[in-house]
Structure 1
């Protein structure tokens, strides 16, 4: 990616961080806390990490849309027990290309219910 002429522009607009997500407070640390659109490729995350990140996403005041590789609010789960599912409405499921060789990846799009 660094050899691309657009690499610097991309890195300025979408900073990448190589850290354990458990060591990042997404809801209060810049630039994460300022995000309005979040893409979370969480297919290989352990369930305890997913739950931790869901709590951080719930606390992010600016987030408007979330694209996730995992269905975070299955219908059979009791919604009252899950603050994340109260804060986000599932709006669409799409099959997105992730590489030219691999099959499409099912992604779940959520919209924040926060009205502020």
Structure 2
């Protein structure tokens, strides 16, 4: 089976996709989101969809989803995901490492 058959690529505006209900996105259990260059309104829209995804277990994001997080945070994203760790990964487009934030779904069991 070819990679494109196992991981279909989609070239669409993310604002036009309902990640939480459209296949194959809604079935994802692990999501890698390279969102460094997204506008804040787009990030907020996608965060809402990520919170509604029933099968998601882990999210890896290039942006800290709640920079003002605190112990009793009522942010909807923070209720749906726990911050697990921050890692620095090498990337091809810059000399320094890229910081990535890993989150675990609170409803994934």
Normalization by structure 2: what TM-score? 0.89
CA contact (8 A) 1:36 1:62 kept: yes
- Compute the displacement of 1:115 (Å): 4.1
* Consecutive unaligned residues in structure 1, runs of 5 or more: 1-7
Give the 3 Å change call, closer, same or farther, for CA 19–79 of structure 1 in structure 2.
farther
Give the 3 Å change call, closer, same or farther, for CA 65–15 of structure 1 in structure 2.
same
Of the structure 1 ranges 15-24 and 77-86, higher mean CA displacement relative to structure 2 is found in: 77-86
Q: CA RMSD in A?
A: 2.0
- CA–CA separation in structure 1 for the residues paired with 2:16 and 2:50: 15
CA contact (8 A) 1:79 1:85 kept: no
Give the 3 Å change call, closer, same or farther, for CA 103–27 of structure 1 in structure 2.
same
Normalization by structure 1: what TM-score? 0.84
CA deviation map 1:37-74 (0-9, x unaligned): 00000000000000000000000000000000000022
1:79 alignment partner, SS class: coil
- CA–CA separation in structure 2 for the residues paired with 1:55 and 1:91: 19
- CA–CA separation in structure 1 for the residues paired with 2:14 and 2:31: 14
1:78 alignment partner, SS class: coil
Q: How many residues in Structure 1 have an aligned counterpart in Structure 2? A: 109
Which has more radius of gyration?
1
